[in-house]
Structure formats: C-alpha cells, structure tokens
C-alpha cells in the first residue's frame, strides 16, 4: 500500500490479490483521462497582442489613468516626469544621449518604412507552414474517411454471409444428391447385369434343349421312315397332285 499512494477506485477483487500483483494490476485499472481537458487540440494563437501605444507603453496604463485624468493625463504625467528627471539631472545628458537619439531615429524610420512588408512576408511564411500542415491533416482525414467507408462496405458485405452459406449448403446438398444418384445407378446397373445374365442363361438353356429335341425328333422320324412307307407316301402324293390339278383345270 505504501508503494501506491494514489489508490484509485478499483474492484475489491483486484485489491485482494497479493500486493506486488495488486500494484501492477491497479495501475492498469487506473483511469487515464479523469477530466474533460486534454492537451490536444491545442488552442490557436490569439490574432493580435496586447495594445501598446507608441511601441513602449501598454494601453492598460492609459485606461488606468483615464477615469481620473482623462485623455491627456498620461501625457502630462510623462512630460512632467521627463522635465523633473532632466532638471534634477537624475537623467544625465551626455554623449550616449546623442547616440541613443540617432539610433532611435534610424530604428523608427526603418520600422515605419519596412514594417508592413516584413510583416506581410512573415505572414506568408506562416501561411505556407499552416497550409502544408493542414494539407497533411486533410489527407489523413481523407484517408481515415475512405477507411471508414471501406469498413462499412465490408460490414455490409459481411451481412450477406447468410446467402453465401445458403449457396454453399445448396452446393453440398447437390453434391450429396449427385453422389447418391450415381451410386443408385451403379447398383441398378450391377443388379440388371446379374439378372440379365440369369435370363440369358435360361434362354440359352431352353434354346439348346429345343434345338436338341428338334434334331432328335427329326433324326428318329427320318430313321423310322421305312422304304415301303416311302413308296406309299410318294404314290399318295402323286394321286393328290393329280386331283389337285384336275380341280385347278376345272376352276379355270
């Protein structure tokens, strides 16, 4: 406890850990930004500085004396002070006074003549700096904006996952169905082949029996025809033919 004087509001469960672990863990649960104020964005610089009159005396001094002495008060004060300093020789006039007068003349002339140009140049430099940094910021914002839109697009795309899964399910179902039908066909073909074989075997057997029986019957019949029977059958046939020819002549 002595190591962490700022004990933040943390769950009691975290504080119940052994002290070395508790110190480390408590620092992770410390709130980072406890107030609204943060260091960024930095507030912009004010446009104009404090008002100064004649380049030396701040305006607040004139405002301070205005209620009591009006507009000329500070000037009277300044004149009186100057005369007092000169007459009592608290300010001694010597060669440095002449040097100061010349230098001040030159400086004031320079400022009055070249001041606005230098100010414009400095403003332009500032403007360029600000513009370049602003461009960087704008680019970053643009990039982040496009990233946000791309992310939203991806989220929208992810919503269609149900369609994707349905299509995949359909594909799989079709594959299973096709496989099942293939196998069914194969089974049917195999069974048909076996049944056809049986049928062909039966047909062959019957045909062979039939042929064999016909041959046997013919052979026996031919054997049983004796020559006497053959002569009688031929004579009968001739008589039949004659009768037939007679009937045919009669019908003509």
Partner 1 sequence: GPLGERPLLEVRLGELPAWISTCSFSPRGLRGAVQRAWSSYCAKYIHVKQGGPAGISMLLAGYCLLSYGWNYQHLKQHRWRKYH
Non-local (6+) Cβ contacts of 55 within 8 A are: 111
Residue 56 binds to partner 1 (criterion: CB under 8 A): yes
Residue 28 contacts residue 40 (beta carbons within 8 Å): no
Residue 42 binds to partner 1 (criterion: CB under 8 A): no
The smaller minimum CB distance to partner 1, of residues 1 and 48, is found at 48
3-state secondary structure of 53: strand
Residue 88 binds to partner 1 (criterion: CB under 8 A): yes
Written as one string, the DSSP assignment of 107-142 is HHHHHHHHHHHHHHHHHHHHHHHHHHHHHHHHHHHH
Element of type H or E holding 52: strand 52-53
Residue 106 binds to partner 1 (criterion: CB under 8 A): no
The smaller minimum CB distance to partner 1, of residues 42 and 238, is found at 42
Non-local (6+) Cβ contacts of 53 within 8 A are: 59, 62
Count of other CB atoms within 10 angstroms of residue 64: 13
Residues 199-238 close enough to bind partner 1 by CB under 8 A: none
Residue 105 binds to partner 1 (criterion: CB under 8 A): no
Shortest CB 57 distance to partner 1, Å:
8
- Rounded Cα gap, residues 210 and 203, in angstroms: 10
Tell me the window of 1-9, 47-55, 154-162, 202-210 that interacts with partner 1 (CB under 8 A): 47-55
Q: Residues touching partner 1: how many (CB under 8 A)?
A: 23
DSSP letter (8 states) at residue 41: S
The smaller minimum CB distance to partner 1, of residues 12 and 92, is found at 92
Residue 1 binds to partner 1 (criterion: CB under 8 A): no
The smaller minimum CB distance to partner 1, of residues 52 and 195, is found at 52
Residues that bind partner 1 (CB under 8 A): 45-50, 52, 55-56, 58, 60, 87-89, 91-94, 111, 115, 119, 123, 126
């Amino acid at each position: 406890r002595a190591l962490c004087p700022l004990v933040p509001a943390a769950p009691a469960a975290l504080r119940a850990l052994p002290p070395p672990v508790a110190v480390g863990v408590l620092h992770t649960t410390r709130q980072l930004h406890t107030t609204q104020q943060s260091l960024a964005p930095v507030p912009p610089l004010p446009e104009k500085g404090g008002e100064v009159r004649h380049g030396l005396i701040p305006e607040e001094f004139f405002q301070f004396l205005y209620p009591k002495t009006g507009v000329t008060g500070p000037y009277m004060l300044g004149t009186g002070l100057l005369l007092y300093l000169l007459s009592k020789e608290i300010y001694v006039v010597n060669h440095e006074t002449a040097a100061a007068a010349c230098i001040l003349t030159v400086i004031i002339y320079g400022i009055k003549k070249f001041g606005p140009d230098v100010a414009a140049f400095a403003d332009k430099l500032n403007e360029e700096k600000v513009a370049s940094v602003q461009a960087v910021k704008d680019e970053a914002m643009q990039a982040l904006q496009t990233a946000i839109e791309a992310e939203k697009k991806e989220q929208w795309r992810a919503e269609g996952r149900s369609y994707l899964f349905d299509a995949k399910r359909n594909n799989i179902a079709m594959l299973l169905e096709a496989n099942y039908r293939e196998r069914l066909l194969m089974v049917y073909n195999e069974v048909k082949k076996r049944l056809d074989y049986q049928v062909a075997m039966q047909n062959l057997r019957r045909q062979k029996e039939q042929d064999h029986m016909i041959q046997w019957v013919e052979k026996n019949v031919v054997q049983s025809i004796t020559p006497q029977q053959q002569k009688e059958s031929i004579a009968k046939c001739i008589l039949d033919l004659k009768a037939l020819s007679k009937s045919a002549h009669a019908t003509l």
